[in-house]
Amino acid sequence: MRPGAACPVYRFGATSRVRPPLALNAPVTPAPTLDDCEVCGVARLFSIRHVTMESISNSLEYILNMSTRMPESLQIAIISSGATIIAASIGVLLVFEQIRRQATNILLQARENERIKLKIKIYEEAMIIISTAISSASSLSNEVRGFIFQLNNYNIYIDVGVSPQIPTLRANKLNDMEYNLLTTGSDVMSLIEKWIILDKRLSLFLDVIHVDTLDLSKAFTDYFIHTIKHLPTEVPNSTQNELFPWSPPIEDDFSKICRLSSLLEREIGKYQCHITDLQHELQNILLGDMFDHHERKRTPTDDYFSVIDLNKYEEISKAYKERMMRR
């Protein structure tokens, strides 16, 4: 359409109207350099429903390109209106952007809260299992040590002429304690397998605990085979907990019991140390960032009670796998 030609229809949103024909004697007004259809284009441009930064930029460019072809008064009106609309559009966009960011932050915070809750839940579950395992090992160690103590006291009472007390340790009690220790150790391994996603390096403790329980079982078997002959034995079906005649072991047997007891306690101690290392690693993984603090590694006084440090995963894992292959 040539400049100055009449545009039969103005469109503003959904509204349309037809320009009435000019009277024959009406004064002719010179046509502007910008035709009316282009003005309609400006109106349509600012009536869009979905305003974006790209549309705002296009609108500004469109207005600036047309400004040189408009009458001065129309330029001022159009540019003023356009600036107002653009400013309002930018304000709306900023509001929507702020709302979007707030919604995103709320979602991220909700996720973090759930993450913290899950970490605490895992830690509580782990501490129950680990504490039970350490307690089971301590119970067995205390009974083994207590038996030596009671044997010593028995001989002392005899020497001073005081009626001695027969040791309280029994074979079935020893068996039950070893079974509880191995069962709780298996529970610890199941815990690691269940939450291995926390840190793949936790698989190291599966090898460590497996080797430790094998060493502990061997030490217990050697101790039990020799000690069972010197344990008091209850009379079957006795209602008064009567015992078969019992006498303390001779000196050589007592020395062997003491030696085997020390070996067993050593293996129990190593097992407990490694379970404690697992506890420290889980604390650091689950709670370290939460409290902005990480538990320090223990410092062993004996190299036999080595520290299982996940930061030395490759080195320790290789050593334990070699030990497992040599069995």
pLDDT tens-digit series, residues 140-160: 999 999 999 999 999 899 888
Chain centroid to CA 15: 60
Asked if 143 and 285 sit in the same domain, the reply is yes
Residue 323, judged by CB atoms within 10 A of its CB (0-12, 13-18, 19+), counts as middle
Picking from 216, 219, 276, 249, the residue whose alpha carbon sits closest to that of residue 147 is 249
Q: How far apart (Å, rounded) are the C-alpha atoms in residues 279 and 25?
A: 101
Q: How far apart (Å, rounded) are the C-alpha atoms in residues 267 and 141?
A: 10
Asked if 146 and 198 sit in the same domain, the reply is yes
Q: Can you give the pLDDT at residue 52?
A: 57
108 within domain boundaries: no
Tokens in use for 44? Answer: 């349509």
Asked if 79 and 135 sit in the same domain, the reply is no
Asked if 192 and 315 sit in the same domain, the reply is yes
Strands (E), the chain: 9-12, 15-18
Q: Can you give the pLDDT at residue 55?
A: 65
Asked if 304 and 193 sit in the same domain, the reply is yes
Picking from 88, 89, 66, the residue whose alpha carbon sits closest to that of residue 79 is 66
Tokens in use for 170? Answer: 């029994």
Count of domains observed in the chain: 2
Task: Write out residues in the chain with pLDDT < 50, as ranges.
Answer: 1-26, 28-50
Asked if 84 and 164 sit in the same domain, the reply is no
106 within domain boundaries: no
104 within domain boundaries: no
Q: Can you give the pLDDT at residue 93?
A: 82
pLDDT tens-digit series, residues 244-302: 999 999 999 999 999 999 999 999 999 999 999 999 999 999 998 888 878 788 889 89
Chain centroid to CA 175: 37
Asked if 76 and 132 sit in the same domain, the reply is no
Q: Can you give the pLDDT at residue 73?
A: 67
Picking from 176, 144, 177, 169, the residue whose alpha carbon sits closest to that of residue 232 is 169
Domain that holds residue 63: 9-95
Asked if 209 and 301 sit in the same domain, the reply is yes
Q: Can you give the pLDDT at residue 72?
A: 67
74 within domain boundaries: yes
For the chain, counts of helices (H) and of strands (E) = 7, 2
